[in-house]
Structure 1
Amino acid sequence: MALLSLPGYLLHIRKRGGYRDRFGTRFGKGLKVPPKAPGRKRIWIQAVSLGEMLAIEPLLKRLESEPEIEIYLTVTTSTGYALAKEKYGRQAVGISYFPMDFWLFSHRVWNRIDPDLAICAETELWPEHLQQAKRRGVPFLLINARLSDRSFRRSLQLRWLYGGFMNRISRVFACSDQDRKRFIKLGMDPERVETTGNIKVDVTIEPILDEREKSDLKERLGLGSGFLLLGSSTWPGEEAMLLKAFRALRETQPSARLLIVPRHGERRDEIEALLRRDASDLRTHFKSRGLPQGEVDALIADTHGELRQLTQLADLVFVGKSLPPHTEGQTPVECGILGVPLLFGPGMSNFRSIRAGLLQFGAARQVNDELEALETIVSLSQDAESRRRMGQGGKRWKEQSQGAVDRTVDGIKAWLASK
């Protein structure tokens, strides 16, 4: 299966770019791994993308502080690899790309890394990776485990196949009780699935900007001092909606500005075409081209690793991949933790429990379509008191929702102790 998918895989990475660095490690070539330190046990952690690497950041920080543990990281995407090198280049004993899930490549990498425990994050089930762990007697943990509605429906249709995968997993640490039930329905032994919560909520956001720093950053970005609407991790179709909302805002707030952070910066050509068609009268700028010369009406932050900082500048956030036809959503966690009022569409299946908590505490509002999104954005822009209450709700939600990292670390250490 891996060999059959190789041509498409190579085409994909060529399109995305940034994969030449240590490319051979995807096939088990040129992998440099130091020997294990005496008295320490090695954990191999795989996180696919930049988003997942950010999600497990609080867990990595806790594990690296444990004197009996050393960490080897693998990632799948080039942006995830760059972030891992930047944040954990000194703490991890090694960082490389995850190998193609074919026996020869996986076997080579397993021999070099030689872990005492293997961990994957969220929804990853790599058949050969799992088989290598089983063959070697290495415990395999799935942490922060979740199944979106679409993934669950697809997996149920292939339950005969997924049942075999489940038997190779030592333990699943699920994000929510619903996720736990779904893994059990797919064939996982109930005794080997526990709900630990979502570690994304335990994220530490650094640096936290004070009011002067926010003002200075907005000035450098050409965003002025007026109301700022942020589109967070937007997908196709959502930028057009935000442009409409921005024009409506400008009718009552001439100093309002728009900041769009697309989920994939590689879409800049597509977004630029949209701006030429629908916003030729606006001053727009792409951050990848440097800081703007003077003020802008709309800034496209098509760069990586800055969303947490940029979120702190916003007065109101729309969370992307959530309006039809999108169904999965992007993370609303940072907005809630920072106390920034937010909106999202009905398609938040990847963040069901987080969505429910944010709505319960009044930190967010759900809009069901583009028209409702436009109306709600305009309404909230004129209602500072409602935005203040939403921000306070986010902080209360944070206080009630944290603790998943501690529970997950306890589970990991228990498995290491039994090894």
Structure 2
Amino acid sequence: MLFLPLWLLTLPGYYLHIRKRGGYREKFMTRFGAGLSIPPKKKESKRIWIQAVSLGEMLAIEPLIKRLASEDGIEIYLTVTTSTGYAVAMEKYCELAVGISYFPVDFAPFSSRVWSAIAPDLAICAETELWPEHIWQASKRGVPFLLVNGRLSDRSFRRAMKLKGIFGSMLKLTSQIFACSDLDRQRFIDLGASEENVVSTGNIKVDVVIEPILDEVTRSTMRGELGLGDGFVLLGSSTWPGEEEMLIAAFRKIREVDEEARLLIVPRHAERRHEIEAMLREEADDFIWHFKSRGAPEGDLDILIADTHGELRALTQLSDLAFVGKSLPPHTEGQTPVECGVLGKAMVFGTGMSNFRSIREGLLQHGAAIEVGDEEEAIATLVELSQDPKRRQKLGEGGLLWHAGSRGAVERTVRGALDWVIR
């Protein structure tokens, strides 16, 4: 009853948002259950519908998708919410999935139409994807619904506790929740999930396989093509507003002692390029800077802004030291530090890493990262590490040790999911 008036009220803002981000025109009507092209299910096969929101979640569940798709008699159907997630899904998973489309608007007529078209035997959502109508459709059709890599940040948990009755009713309809950590498991239970339906399987993001790993020749060639030279490269990984300014301040101090140093900024949202450009004109007009989306640079750069999608894993390999974004005040949730750990890159992040709490703790315990409290400490730490290759190497080795000892969540999740498929 409330959905339609609320949806109409928020529609102008939603339209402006998708117009700003772009890329939503293709397959847009699949959000309303129209224009779907779904092949009939093969005889004796089981179909699993997997929903992931965006680019980050779509990359995070890559090992899970590949592992499930490798099972005989399993078909995968993928849905995503954002245009960047859709682009990555089409690029990476079109051969593994029987179909890829946008997740339907969570309103009964649209959701029911898509459910009937896909006809899954199991529904899986990733991380924090709790859509009331989606879960209700699974329940009334007798289809098991799983939440994998389930997590609740501090902020999300506080908000959910204020609506505990609503969240509790949804969680009671889930067949099982595979939580990222023991803390996340307890939070789901506190919200109303039954204890026997929540298990801690670990974070599947840790099981990521990064391909390709660049050899030294390719790495050097790419750095040259991007104008980054052969010297020290500082990476801003998935940065948010305010953090680019901090990195430029740190870079200025680094350049005082290392004229060959370069700064590589990968903003979390590429559509911020105009905002970042205005900041650069004000804060870094004495540097040579270039946006990757505008083609190859004409020569060597001081600063490269990689305002493109899906390239962070490759670009991380070009760096010598990384700052992990969305982790300095006022931000509290953090961006993923997993790639840096997997690739053995020294990293620095702020205290705001609540979305990656267990990963953060593991990295710090293995001496794979340095945590800083504010912008001033971040600048001092980055400058110090830029001049200390031995310490950077030790941090990188800690990341490799952390990764080697933290894997296994994907296999535990796959075994649990397949148990529901064959019941």
The structural deviation recorded for 1:10 is 2.7
3-state DSSP class of the match of 2:113? helix
Name the structure 1 match of 2:355. 350
2:397 equivalent to 1:392: yes
Which residue does 1:103 correspond to in 2? 108
Q: Which of 70, 86, 105 does residue 65 from structure 1 map onto?
A: 70
2:21 alignment partner, one of 16, 30, 42:
16
Query: d(CA) in 2 for partners of 1:29 and 1:13?
Result: 19
Where structure 2 has 5 or more consecutive residues not aligned to the other structure, the ranges are none
Kindly provide the amino acid, as one letter, of the partner of residue 184 in structure 2. Answer: D
Q: How does 1:222-371 map to 2 (within 5 A)?
A: 222-371=227-376
Please state how far the C-alpha of 1:417 moved relative to its aligned partner.
Answer: 1.0
Pair 1:140 & 2:145 matched: yes
Q: What does residue 7 of structure 2 align with?
A: 5
Matches within 5 A, 1:61-140: 61-140=66-145
Q: Does 1:34 align with 2:39?
A: yes
Residues 330 and 348 of structure 1 are in contact (CA less than 8 Å); yes or no, is this contact kept in structure 2? yes
String of CA shifts for 1:79-105, please: whole Å, max 9, x gaps: 000110111112200000000000000
Which consecutive unaligned segments of at least 5 residues does structure 1 have? Answer: none
2:173 aligned with 1:168: yes
Letter paired with 1:5 = W
Percent of pairs with identical residues: 68
Q: Which runs of 4+ in 1 moved over 4 A?
A: none
Q: How far off its partner does 1:12 sit? A: 2.0
| Pairwise CA distance, 1:303 | 0.1
Deviates more, 1:6-15 or 1:67-76: 6-15
Could you report, residue by residue, the CA deviation over 1:216-266 in whole angstroms, capped at 9, with x for unpaired residues? 110000001111000000000000000000000001111000000000000
**How big is each residue's C-alpha offset from its partner over 1:139-171, in whole Å with a ceiling of 9 and x where there is no partner?**
000000000000000001111111101111000
Q: How far off is 1:16 after superposition? A: 1.5
**2:378 alignment counterpart:** 373
TM-superposed deviation, 1:64: 0.8
1:250-301 per-position Cα deviation (integer Å, ceiling 9, x unaligned): 0111100000000000000000000000111110000000110110000000
User: Do the aligned partners of 1:25 and 1:31 also contact (CA within 8 Å) in 2?
Assistant: yes
1:182 to 182, 187, 210: 187
Q: Tell me, what secondary structure is at the counterpart of 2:318?
A: coil
Matches of 1:14 and 1:268, distance apart in 2: 15
Superposed CA offset, 1:87-142 (max 9, x none): 11122000000000000000110010000000000001000000000010000000
After superposition, the CA RMSD in angstroms is 0.7
Aligned counterparts of 2:20 and 2:403: Cα–Cα separation in 1: 38
| TM-score normalized by the length of structure 2 | 0.98
Please give the per-residue CA displacement for 1:51-81, whole angstroms capped at 9, x wherever unaligned: 0000000011101110120000000000000
The superposition leaves residues 307-332 of structure 1 with CA deviations (integer Å, 9 ceiling, x where unpaired) of 00000111100000000000000000
Cα displacement (A) at 1:33: 0.8
Q: Is the 8 A contact 2:152 2:184 kept in 1?
A: yes
> Which among 200, 211, 218 is matched to residue 206 of structure 1?
211
**CA deviation after TM superposition for structure 1 residue 392, in Å:** 0.6
Measured in 2, the distance between the counterparts of 1:54 and 1:37 equals 27
Check the 8 A contact 1:44/1:71 in 2, yes or no: yes
Q: 1:216 aligns with which of 193, 214, 221?
A: 221
SS of the equivalent of 2:237 reads strand
Is the CA contact 1:2–1:100 (under 8 Å) kept in the aligned structure 2?
Answer: no
- Whichever residue aligns with residue 367 of structure 1, its letter is V
Paired with 1:284 and 1:117, the residues of 2 have a C-alpha distance of 49
Give the conservation status (yes or no) of the 8 Å contact 1:226–1:255: yes
Report the 3-state secondary structure (helix = DSSP H, G, I; strand = E; otherwise coil) of the residue aligned with 1:276: helix
Contact residue 66 and residue 96 of structure 2 kept, 8 A:
no
> 6-15 or 175-184, which moves further after superposition?
6-15
Contact 2:60 2:204 in 1 (8 A): yes
Compute the displacement of 1:213 (Å).
Answer: 1.1
DSSP-derived class of the 1:305 partner: coil
The offset of 1:409, in angstroms, is 0.4
Partner of 1:405: 410
Please tell me whether the aligned partners of residues 149 and 178 of structure 2 are also in contact (alpha carbons under 8 angstroms): yes
Query: For residue 156 of structure 1, what is the amino acid of its counterpart?
Result: M
Q: Of residues 195, 199, 211 in structure 1, which corresponds to 2:200?
A: 195
